[in-house]
Amino acid sequence: MWDLGVIPDRDVDAQPQGARASLNAAIDAVVTRTLSSQLAQIGYRPADITYFAFSHAHIDHSANANEFAASTWLARPAERAFMWADNNTRVNPSFYSELKNSKSVVTIDKDEYDVFGDRRVVIKSAPGHTPGHQALVLKLAATGLVMLSGDLYHYPQERTLRRAPPDNEADVRQSAASRAMIEEYLQKTKTKLWIEHDFAANAKLKKSPAYYE
Smallest gap from Cβ 174 to Zn ion, in A, equals 14
Nearest distance in Å: CB 61, Zn ion: 6
| Cis peptide upstream of residue 127 (ω within 30 degrees of 0) | no
Interface contacts to Zn ion, rule CB under 5 A: 58, 151
Residue 158 CB, nearest approach to Zn ion (Å): 14
Report residue 157: phi and psi, to 5°. -65, -25
Nearer to Zn ion, 58 or 80 (CB): 58
Residue 104, amino acid: S
| Alpha-carbon gap, residue 209 to 203, rounded angstroms | 15
In 3D, which of 18, 48, 14, 11 has the Cα closest to residue 33?
A: 18
Q: Which residue, 75 or 116, is less far from Zn ion as judged by CB? A: 75
Contact criterion met (CB below 8 Å) for 196 and 150: yes
8 A C-beta contact, residue 139 and residue 128: no
Across 62-159, the runs of DSSP E, i.e. the strands, are 72-75, 105-107, 112-114, 121-125, 134-140, 144-148
CB of 133 to Zn ion, least distance (A): 8
The distance of closest approach from Cβ of residue 161 to Zn ion in the complex, given in angstroms and rounded to an integer, is 20
